[in-house]
Chain A
Amino acid sequence: MISSSLIPCGQFKTTYAADTTIFLTPASRYWCFAGILLAAASPLVLSNYLLALMIQIGFYGIAALGLNILVGCTGQISLGHAAFFGFGAFASAWLNNSFGVPVLLAIPLAGVMTTLLGLLFGIPAGRLKGLYLAIATFASQFILEDFFARANWFTGGSSGAMANPISLFGMELSGDKSFFYVVLFFVVVMYLLGTNLLRTRDGRAFVAVRDHYLSAEVMGINLTKYRILSFGISSFYAGVGGALYGHYLGYVSAEGFTILLSIQFLGMIIIGGMGSVMGTLMGTAFMVLLPEGTEAAVSTIKHFTGDIPALTSALAYIKEAAIGLAIVLFLIFEPDGLVHRWRLIKSYWKLYPFSY
């Protein structure tokens, strides 16, 4: 949690309850509600293509928030987040296909299953730190990938698993428009839970473990417990995000959950802002939109110059290189992420034009 040290002008809080609200000012709360309403209205105007991008931002954003709680808040590292994301997708499909659990129930249940798996794979985190932990989580990525390829009963093996669309009161929510609302609902709920977590006892314990584990221990925090718990919570988010991904695509196959996606998740939270809930969503949006933006830019260039075969054939590489470049540039110029930049912009306009 990156807390702001400044209380905006004109804000007088007279109770502790008023001082512990999520939003610092009523205005920021209303802006957030307005944002949710705007998002809820967007299927009316946005094309299916843009809506699909929003849905992607939604489920990747949920999983990225989990990684941010683990990496940004607790100061651990995980190179296996995509595997847990994948496990959630398979688990939800499996619960629905094998036991007939309704999809809307199977999604959180898949999250719980992934939590248990995360707690198991988090055990090394109780003892390992830094690079050693990175390698241990790297191993969990490959163990799970192998599991996906072999466990026919669970994942359908190399042929993958079918994931049914969500049905609610006999209505099938399969189109982009209706699925968008499902994702929006989960995003709001999961981000709210994350925010609450970070302002209560265990969330503070996570940040304490990150900032100074020796004194955290002296304050009565069981380091091993919280390091493992952090893996569990991060996996819960990965599982729910993955389950949404599965039911959105309608088909889950192991190829989607490689180490590359794990790195992309890390990219999202680095670009968005480590330890920031809102930053996670910004970073995810950036990472999802960047390749699309690159493609749009390339086609604009083509529009003016005519077709350049070299550029067209290199487009795939340009997209990937752009992600790498973005991460590097952010690490150098804005290590605190988009959320920090956003705060700077806000404070700039607050004082404009008398900036000092």
Chain B
Amino acid sequence: MSVSDTPVLEVRDVSLAFGGVRALTEVSFQVNKGELFSIIGPNGAGKTSMLNCVSGRYKPTAGRVYMDGRDVTGLSPNVRATLGLGRTFQNLALFGHMSVLDNIMVGRHHLLSNNAVSGALYWGTGARKEELAHRRKVEDIIDFLEIAHIRKAVAGTLPYGLRKRVELARAMAVEPKVILLDEPMAGMNLEEKEDMARYIVDLNEEWGMTVIMIEHDMGVVMDISHRVMVLEFGRKIAEGLPDEIMSNERVKVAYLGVDDDEPAQTGEQVA
């Protein structure tokens, strides 16, 4: 899918303060449909806070968030999910006692219409048919992420890399227009990172999801992102194409610090 010019998500002058701590200060950005947009920054820069403002976990102290032109600032996370917003978490947040399959089926929640009564009666109420139809869709995601061998495993017993993948599967099951990935590659080895990067590119290009990703691995970020935004101490210090960000002096200072004696070094790698 190609990147279009229509903004699917717009964040306008968002500030977030916890008491006296200013986590975010007047951050604005816009993500276009089909884009793979990365947010980077040193630890504590406010990346996850930004994502939480977008997903509805935090309500910004000031500023607005728009999805498809609609103001979603005051909406709770579950309503935003029904509008087409999926996310994964930095620290794993799977439903530990459920099977992988059930975990992913939970992602279909807002797409299913059976309720406690029709679900309990099961036969003859359409609940069975609906569950089976959605099971089909879920299997497509399972195939795509290559987790068929663990679909019946209890999520809490899986190793870290697989759990990350199941979490991605669950977020994909929401059928989001915009998917927020909070450090999808944290703690992975090279091979797992390569796999994950491939999945992210595919879900952007083939599944047509707009991706907003926080990631610390600069190699991956610069390789796969269409655009990158840099945060430092809750402020946006740069936004642009990966190449522009790599050569941005301000970004280098944020990551490497300033030497008192010499001007900041110019190098190829920012990390």
Contact = CB atoms under 8 A, between A and B. Distances in A.
Interface of A: 1-7, 16-17, 19-20, 193-194, 196-197, 199-205, 207-208, 210-212, 214-223, 229, 233, 275
Given A16-B132, A200-B122, A222 B95 contact: no
A4 to B, nearest CB: 8
Contacts of A217: 76-78, 81
Given A3-B99, A204-B106, A207-B98, A215 B89 contact: yes
Nearest to A206: B116
A208 B116 contact: no
Interface string B104-121: 011111101011101111
Contacts of B114: 200-202
Nearest to B157: A5
Interface in B37-90: 55, 57, 76-78, 81-82, 86-87, 89
Contacts of B116: 197, 202, 229, 233
B127 A200 contact: yes
8 contacts: A3-B97, A202-B115, A208-B98, A211-B94, A212-B95, A216-B106, A218-B86, A220-B82
B99 A204 contact: no
Tell me if A's interface is mostly helix, strand, loop or mixed: helix
Interface of B: 55, 57, 76-78, 81-82, 86-87, 89, 93-99, 102, 105-110, 112, 114-116, 118-122, 127-128, 131-132, 135-136, 139, 152-154, 157, 170, 174
Given A20-B131, A204-B102, A212-B94, A223 B78 contact: yes
Tell me if B's interface is mostly helix, strand, loop or mixed: helix
Given A197-B120, A203-B119, A204-B106, A219 B98 contact: no
Contacts, number: 130
Contacts of A3: 97-99, 102, 152, 154
Nearest to A17: B132
Contacts of A200: 114, 118-120, 122, 127, 131
A275 B95 CA distance: 14
B136 A208 contact: no
B132 A196 contact: no
B90 to A, nearest CB: 12
Given A200-B127, A223-B78, A193 B109 contact: no
B120 A219 contact: no
Contacts of B106: 204-205, 208, 216, 219, 221
Contacts of B102: 1, 3, 204, 207
A291 to B, nearest CB: 32
A222 B78 contact: yes
B104 to A, nearest CB: 10
A20 B121 contact: no
Contact of A16 (B98, B135, B170): B135
A240 B97 CA distance: 29
Contact of A196 (B57, B122, B139): B122
A202 B108 CA distance: 11
A125 B247 CA distance: 53
Given A5-B153, A5-B154, A201-B114, A214 B57 contact: yes
A210 B120 CA distance: 19
A196 B81 contact: no
A223 to B, nearest CB: 7
A219 B81 contact: yes
A216 B97 CA distance: 13
With most chain A CB atoms within 10 A of its CB, the pick from B95, B136, B170 is B95
Contacts of B153: 5
Contacts of B120: 193-194, 196-197, 200
B78 A196 contact: no
Contacts of B157: 5
A248 to B, nearest CB: 25
Contacts of B139: 16
Contacts of B127: 196, 200-201
Given A200-B118, A212-B95, 4 more contacts: A20-B135, A202-B119, A218-B87, A221-B109
A215 B52 CA distance: 12
A205 B111 CA distance: 13
Contacts of B95: 207-208, 211-212, 215-216
